[in-house]
Amino acid sequence: MSLTSTAHQLVTLASEGGESGGNHESLNPYLTGGGALLALLVLLWITTRFNRDR
């Protein structure tokens, strides 16, 4: 596989990816963001519970 054919395939793949947007229909960005925020807050709470030396 040569460099030019690889570059051509990557350009073709990139141009096709813009049509679908890359999002699955079942993914809700608010639910995903809320879940990530909740996970980070739980990790913050756990970290502060174990750091009682102050």
pLDDT of residue 23: 66
Full-model pTM: 0.51
End-to-end CA distance of the chain: 60
Which two three-digit tokens encode residue 32?
Answer: 């995903």
For residue 21, which of 33, 9, 29, 30 has the smallest C-alpha distance? 29
- Residues 31-52 have pLDDT tens digits of 999 999 999 999 999 998 988 7
